[in-house]
Amino acid sequence: MTLVNRRPQFESGGPSDSDGDAPHLVRLAGDARGLLDWICADPKLVDHCASAVDSMEVAARLETFGLSARVVSSKFGYPNVFAAAEVVFDTIPYIDVKPKAQPMPPMGRPFDLLRGALYAIPAVFFSVIILSFGLGRHWWLLPVGLTVSWGTSQAFSVLGWSMRAHNDQRSDSLLAASSMFTTAVFCFVAALVVRSILGGTMTCVAVTVSLGVYISASSILIFHSAERLLILCLIPALVGSLLSLGVLSFRAASWFVVASAGLVVIGALGSVAADRWRRPTFSRDVRRQALKFLTYGVGCGLMTSSVVGFGTAGAKASGAVAIAAGPLLVTLGLMEWQLRSLRSRTAAAMSQTSDLAHFSRQARSALARSITTYVGSLAVISAMAGVVAAVRHVAMAPLLILTVDALGISFFLALIFVSAGFIDRVLRAWLVTFFVMVSTLLADFISTGHVASDVGILAVLLASSAAIVTFIVLARGGLTSPFTYESRS
């Protein structure tokens, strides 16, 4: 049997037979040549030594390759591994060993537009339900369902992200079920209250609850990046809605929509049956954060509801609202696209510059690019919607379109702030927004004894504009800070 040594044989100047096994023999000068030859026989060790930050790192590496204190003393004549490491560190030139590439946040892509469509298309399906059950008079169904589920979905997504940060996947199923159950209960209570004020049947309540649960379920699927499953689930509703244009009655088409909603709920609950449940624990900070996001979501819902409410009342038909909401719905995906691109550009800037001022300039430029792209696209699509409204002589259309555009811009800015971690600033902006809106409505009520729908729309426009101005003011120093963005995904 032969033992094969991967190390090079010692040349002259190396340890002699006479001193080979003498652990106490110390030669301070050391056999640098022998030591370096020994190291150079292993490319991995060379890499470690050449990329070391100091000689102690070299010492740690030498030990792991078998050069213990005893061996460096007996074979290479150094008093200890640290002395040998110093020689190696001073001799071997630095080599830059590049770390494994970390995934950078990806740029936005056309698929993000599709994600936006996933939010927008159900509005069409909802119309089928409304027409099917003859609920057109009860405009409050959408606002109540939307406001509640927007809030709860935001709150539960905070809890979900917190669990992900703790590698807790066993609680996912419990969270999904809780999200839908909570939304259903809140929608039920809110719908009962609104029904008692504005009127309606128990069908209205049931539709409101169903809408809320559907939105909650779809947001769970999107949270789990199961957009493709969501698309598959929505196919029956799409087919039913198209058939309702001539082939099927609205009542028959509504069953397709119900089937889709059921599939989405089943999809979201899919993990409930599969996984073992575990009760998650959340710190006080996380619970507080979830509450803030609940407020943020409810705020978004209320703003949207105000447009729906005043718009429907003012135009006496849902056509004006549908045309005005079009540009916002169409550009929902663009918000996602531009947000991703902003993150990606800032991450790239952070990895390329060593100057904080330069980074701030690049972040500002990326921010301007994303906002300009969104606002520009919204303006173009709104102009097209304006033309359609003018051709069809839709009342209040210009004011409604302008209002929805302002709302869209304020939502996009809020999205940027939220993704940057500035939820507190968003809540401050919402506070200003609602102050402006309520003040305007109150002023009209005091002077005329009622609130006119066009004043209501104007109030939303003023409030949204106030939100935009507040966001611009609050952006100072925040959105150009390196702490605002991630350098890797």
- The stretch near other proteins (CB under 8 A) out of 16-24, 197-205, 227-235, 392-400 is 16-24
- The stretch near other proteins (CB under 8 A) out of 59-67, 312-320, 381-389, 429-437 is 59-67
How many helices (H) and strands (E) are present in the chain, helices listed first? Answer: 19, 0
Between residues 331 and 362, which has the closer beta carbon with respect to other proteins?
362
Q: What is the DSSP letter of 485?
A: S
- The stretch near other proteins (CB under 8 A) out of 54-62, 217-225, 327-335, 429-437 is 54-62
3-state SS, residue 456: helix
For other proteins, the binding residue among 13, 25, 41, 97 (CB under 8 A) is: 97
Between residues 28 and 285, which has the closer beta carbon with respect to other proteins?
285
For other proteins, the binding residue among 34, 77, 143, 280 (CB under 8 A) is: 280
- The stretch near other proteins (CB under 8 A) out of 94-102, 107-115, 116-124, 308-316 is 94-102
For other proteins, the binding residue among 178, 353, 373, 453 (CB under 8 A) is: 353
For other proteins, the binding residue among 32, 51, 318, 427 (CB under 8 A) is: 51
Q: How far apart are CA 288 and CA 142, in angstroms?
A: 28
Between residues 80 and 453, which has the closer beta carbon with respect to other proteins?
80
Say whether residue 94 binds other proteins (CB under 8 A).
Answer: yes
Question: In sequence order, what are the residues at sequence separation of 6 or more whose Cβ sits closer than 8 angstroms to the Cβ of residue 282?
Answer: 159, 162, 290
By 3-state DSSP, what share of the chain in percent is helix, strand and coil, each rounded to 5? 75, 0, 25
Provide the minimum distance between the beta carbon of 281 and other proteins in the complex, in angstroms, as a whole number.
5
Say whether residue 86 binds other proteins (CB under 8 A).
Answer: no
Q: How far apart are CA 21 and CA 358, in angstroms?
A: 60
Q: Is the dihedral of CA 51, 53, 55, 60 positive or negative?
A: negative
Long-range pairs of 92-100 with CB within 8 A, sequence gap ≥ 24: 92/36, 92/39, 92/46, 92/49, 92/50, 93/50, 94/50, 94/51, 95/46, 95/47, 95/50, 95/51, 96/51, 97/47, 97/50, 97/51
Between residues 363 and 404, which has the closer beta carbon with respect to other proteins?
363
Q: How far apart are CA 195 and CA 205, in angstroms?
A: 8
Question: In sequence order, what are the residues at sequence separation of 6 or more whose Cβ sits closer than 8 angstroms to the Cβ of residue 81?
Answer: 59, 62, 63, 67, 68, 69, 72
Chain-centroid distance of CA 175 in Å reads 18
Residues 136-165 that bind other proteins (CB under 8 A): 162, 165
The closest alpha carbon to 78, from 12, 46, 119, 34, belongs to: 34
Between residues 91 and 249, which has the closer beta carbon with respect to other proteins?
91
Residues 398-457 that bind other proteins (CB under 8 A): 420-425
Provide the minimum distance between the beta carbon of 54 and other proteins in the complex, in angstroms, as a whole number.
7
Say whether residue 32 binds other proteins (CB under 8 A).
Answer: no
Say whether residue 286 binds other proteins (CB under 8 A).
Answer: yes
Between residues 161 and 188, which has the closer beta carbon with respect to other proteins?
161
Between residues 164 and 228, which has the closer beta carbon with respect to other proteins?
164
Say whether residue 106 binds other proteins (CB under 8 A).
Answer: no
Between residues 446 and 483, which has the closer beta carbon with respect to other proteins?
483
The closest alpha carbon to 433, from 454, 410, 416, 417, belongs to: 410
- The stretch near other proteins (CB under 8 A) out of 108-116, 214-222, 342-350, 405-413 is 342-350
DSSP secondary structure of 65-112: TT--HHHHHHHH--SSHHHHHHHHHHHSPP---PPPPPPPPPPP-HHH
Q: What is the DSSP letter of 482?
A: G
Say whether residue 283 binds other proteins (CB under 8 A).
Answer: yes
Say whether residue 96 binds other proteins (CB under 8 A).
Answer: yes
Say whether residue 377 binds other proteins (CB under 8 A).
Answer: no
Say whether residue 82 binds other proteins (CB under 8 A).
Answer: yes
Number of shown-chain residues binding other proteins (CB under 8 A):
78
Q: How far apart are CA 183 and CA 211, in angstroms?
A: 10
